[in-house]
């Protein structure tokens, strides 16, 4: 049986970003190597690619949940409205 929380994460389209609270611990890069990388010119990390696959979405979610400074945030991507 699929966990409802996981199903919610992978079925929605979120945008992940790193806010100013990053100590450079590399946990996000370790958990989601395709999506996070060191920010040039600083000791912190940044999102270099938004997750596309369900596996990347799970990895980014885990990185957000386990970030020791709660420096990764997600927002739900707005769906385009159809004009009538």
pLDDT (tens, 9 = 90+) of the chain, 84 residues, equals: 455 555 565 557 899 999 878 999 999 999 999 999 998 888 899 999 999 999 999 999 999 999 999 999 999 877 666 665
Which CATH number describes the domain made up of 4-76? 3.30.70.20
State residue 21's pLDDT score. 83
Scanning the structure block, which residue is given the tokens 């991507």?
77
- pTM, two decimals, is 0.79
What is the 3 state secondary structure string of 11-70? HCCEEEEECCCCCCCCHHHHHCCCCEEECCCCCCEEECCCCCCHHHHHHHHHHHHHCCCC
State residue 20's pLDDT score. 75
Q: Token pair for residue 12? A: 């929605």
């Amino acid at each position: 049986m699929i966990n409802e929380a996981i199903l919610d994460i992978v079925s929605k389209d979120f945008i992940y970003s790193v806010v100013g609270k990053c100590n450079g611990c590399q946990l996000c890069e370790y958990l989601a190597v395709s999506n996070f990388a060191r920010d040039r010119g600083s000791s912190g990390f940044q999102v270099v690619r938004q997750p596309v696959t369900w596996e990347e979405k799970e990895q980014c979610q885990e990185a957000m949940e386990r970030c020791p400074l709660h420096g990764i945030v997600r927002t739900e991507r707005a769906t385009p409205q159809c004009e009538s």
